[in-house]
Structure 1
Amino acid sequence: MADSHPVKTSVKVRHCLTPDVDGESVDQHLYRSMIGSLMYLTASRPDIMFAVCLCARFQANPKLSHLSAVKRILRYLRYKPKLGLWYPKTDLFDLVAYSDSDYGGYNLDQKSTSGGCRFLGNRLVSWQCKKQSTISQSTAETEYIAAALCCSQVRLIHHQMLDYGITFHETPILCDNTAVPHITKNPVQHSKTKHIEIKHHFIRDCVEKKHIQIVEVKTNKQTADIFTKAFDSTRFAQLVEMLGMINFQ
């Protein structure tokens, strides 16, 4: 891939990746080793997280179309080989989280993808991209589930920072869905929430105990968007910058 043509995004906007049952099979060991290497790289390159997780879903029976998608990630890395996270020491130490999801974005089983990231000041410290285990019946439900997953990661950081004598209160989780803050503050189960699994409702307890607070944010300011779906080159570049990544010369 050293002489390949570079691209500006890690995945096509309309990628349409499916199991491709009738497609040409490729070497499973090669495909899995490529995915494993890229998963290792996501520890310092969150900009490829969504693309790698998407391709990782087809490791059981990889096809040529899946291998092409993986090679596109390598072509993107060739376009930005020195992109990385910057951690300035003179910065704020406030914990802020972003939570987002797409709605039924995976065209095979109509399941949604949860994405989230946590910042200490302007320093990105953790992130995740995960396909939800159940099919959501509304955008409010899928955003609520994503917020609950993000909340568990925030609470983990809370406990870790206690070892250093640092305590956080009412950590904001920024979500671009209006319904989520209302659901977390309303303990009454109604027609829009009664079907949501009980395990996700622990976020209400965290809000009540003032561990976190759900704050609405505009979609164009939603940093976690990059972990849930594909974008064109302009929006993708904006999101990479919002992650605090810079190009090291």
Structure 2
Amino acid sequence: MDDSKPQPTPMTSGLKLTANGSTSIPDPSFYRSIVVKRILRYLQGTVTHGLHFRRATNLTLMAFSDSDWGSDLDDRKSTTGYCVYFGNNLVSWSSRKQRAVSRSSTEAEYRGLAAVTTEIVWIQSLLSELQVNTATPTIYCDNLGAVMLAANPIMHSRTKHFELDLYFVRDKVLTRAIQVFHLPSQFQVADILTKSITGLPFESFRRKLMVTSSCDISLRGDVKDNKVS
């Protein structure tokens, strides 16, 4: 693998794997070896990459939340991803499958909002113990329905099956503990944590996650600027 050509992404763009619907292969180890080789070829091209930290003057919490609705073709559970920045530095991130099946993309996205809100509350508690004062954290979500639900005080019957998440996020919004804003999908940094995407968007989002090569000395702008660039 030392002389193999590096791959720009760890996974083929748009690929959806399933345990059913295809013919079983005689030797599963062969398939697994192909997957591993793809990852190794990606790692070969990124051996100098790491999470970049730099001194920041703006000590604010900012997060991006995204969900890929029904992404698991076997059980139709969604995948949630989020990333949290303290200033310009990435301090927390997650990518995991949701425990329950969501009936709509709005529900899936709202469950993601609840997950990142929980993480922000924990980070705020830690910063409070360290006597670090911060402004109201901001969460960016690319699902307009989820953003409107977070701000709308009216309870809808179709949201009763995720009522606890609904009230948890809404309470934080109403008490101004967090702010939730809509963000167009093309600027959603957390998109890289929920699905396989193509080379150029992948590289752009990876850079905005502050993952960069130690050889690259041309890192410019902060994450908030990159959000809309």
Please report the TM-score for the alignment, with normalisation by the length of structure 2. 0.85
Query: 8 Å contact 1:119–1:126 — kept in the other structure?
Result: yes
The whole-number CA distance in structure 2 between the counterparts of 1:220 and 1:159 is 32
Give 1:227's aligned amino acid.
L
Does residue 205 of structure 2 align to residue 239 of structure 1? yes
SS class of match (1:84): strand
Q: CA RMSD in A?
A: 1.9
How far apart are residue 130 of structure 1 and its match? Answer: 0.7
Amino acid corresponding to residue 77 of structure 2 in structure 1: K
Question: How far, CA to CA, are the matches of 2:208 and 2:26 in structure 1?
Answer: 39
Cα distance in 2, alignment partners of residues 132 and 3 from structure 1? 39
Q: Where does residue 226 of structure 2 map in the other structure?
A: none
- Contact 2:61/2:135 (CA < 8 Å) preserved in 1? no
For residue 105 of structure 1, the aligned residue among 63, 71, 88 is 71
Structure 1 length as normaliser, TM-score?
0.79
Distance 2:201 2:147 in 1: 26
Q: Which residue of 2 aligns with 1:22?
A: 24
Task: Report the counterpart of residue 196 of structure 1 in structure 2.
Answer: 162
Distance 2:34 2:14 in 1: 14
Matches within 5 A, 1:43-58: none
4+ residue runs over 6 A deviation? none
Aligned residue runs from structure 1 range 55-66, under 5 A: 64-66=30-32
2:81 aligned to 115, 120, 125, which one?
115
Q: CA 1:203/1:229 → structure 2, altered by over 3 Å: closer, same or farther?
A: same
Could you report, residue by residue, the CA deviation over 1:1-47 in whole angstroms, capped at 9, with x for unpaired residues?
A: 32333111011113232336833556xxxxxxxxxxxxxxxxxxxxx
Distance 2:68 2:164 in 1: 21
Distance change (3 Å), C-alpha of 1:64 and 1:187: farther
Partner of 2:187: 221
Q: Does 1:139 align with 2:100?
A: no
Identity %: 33
Aligned residues: 213
Alignment-mate amino acid for residue 193 of structure 2: F
CA separation of 1:154/1:106 partners in 2, compared to 1, >3 Å: closer, same or farther?
same
